[in-house]
Structure 1
C-alpha cells in the first residue's frame, strides 16, 4: 500500500471519529434543551406535547392548594391560565401573586405536571422570561380594550 493511500485512510478514519463526536455533542445538547412558554402560548397549542418545557407567569391568587407532598396552583399571564400539578415540596418563597417558573410536561387532560418549580427570591425579582411574557400580555390586553 502506498503512503498516499495510508494517509487517505488515516484522514477518513479521523473524519469518521470527528463526525461521531459532533453527533454525540449535538444529541446531548438537544436532549438538554428546554424551551419557555407562557400560559397563552400553551393554551394556543404552541407548546410541545410529550416533551419537557418551562411555563412561567404569576401564581393566581386563590388558586394554591397544598397537601402533604402535592401542590396544585394556577399560573397566569393575565390572559390565559394553566393548571400546574407538582409532587414534592414547593419552595419556601413560593406564594400566591408571585412570579414562578415550572418545568415539566402536559398530561392528557391538558394540565401541566411539573417536575421542578422555581420561585422568585425577593419581592423585586421576576424571571426575565416571565416578566417579558407579562409585559406582552398586558400590551395585548391594552390593545384589545382600545379597539372600538
Structure 2
C-alpha cells in the first residue's frame, strides 16, 4: 500500500471513530435531558407522554396524604392556576412542607397522576426553584389578564 493510501485510510478510520464517539455522547445527553413543565403546561398537553420531566410549583395546603405503608404518599402541586396530583414512594426531603416550593421529577401516568421518582424541596425560607417561581409568576399574570379582560367586558356590556 502506498503511503498516500495509508494516510487516507488512517484519516477515514479516525473520522469513523470520531463519528461513533459523537453519536454515543449525543445519545447519552439526549437520554439524560429532563425538561421542566408547570401544572398549567401539563394540563395543556405540552408535557411529553412516556418520558421523564420535571414539574414544579407550590405544595397545596392540606393535600399531603400518606398511605398505610408509611412510604407512599400523594400531594398536589399547584402554580395557582392548575393543580397536579403527584404520587411518590420514598422518603421526602427534610425541608418538604405544604405551602412551600417543590420540584418533582418523574413521568405522567395514564391516569393523569404524576409518578415522581425524585422530589426536591426549597433550601431556605425565601427560596423557590427558579422554574417553579416562573411558573407561579406566569399563572399570576394570566389570572390578572383574565380578570382585567372580564372587567373590561363587563364595562362594555353595561354601556
Counterpart CA distance in 2 for 1:90 and 1:108 is 24
Q: Report what 1:89 is aligned to.
A: 91
Counterpart CA distance in 1 for 2:66 and 2:120 is 16
Counterpart CA distance in 2 for 1:91 and 1:19 is 42
Q: Report what 2:108 is aligned to.
A: 106
Contact 1:34 1:53 in 2 (8 A): yes
Contact 1:38 1:55 in 2 (8 A): yes
Contact 1:71 1:90 in 2 (8 A): no
Unaligned runs of at least 5 residues, structure 1: none
Counterpart CA distance in 1 for 2:25 and 2:45 is 30
* TM-score, normalising length: structure 1: 0.98
1:37-116 mapped onto 2 (5 Å cutoff): 37-67=37-67, 68-116=70-118
* TM-score, normalising length: structure 2: 0.91
Q: Runs of at least 4 residues of structure 1 off by over 6 A? A: none
SS of alignment partner, residue 54 of structure 2: strand
Report how many aligned residue pairs link the two structures.
148
> Which of 1 and 2 has greater Rg?
2
Counterpart CA distance in 2 for 1:108 and 1:136 is 27
Counterpart CA distance in 2 for 1:78 and 1:34 is 23
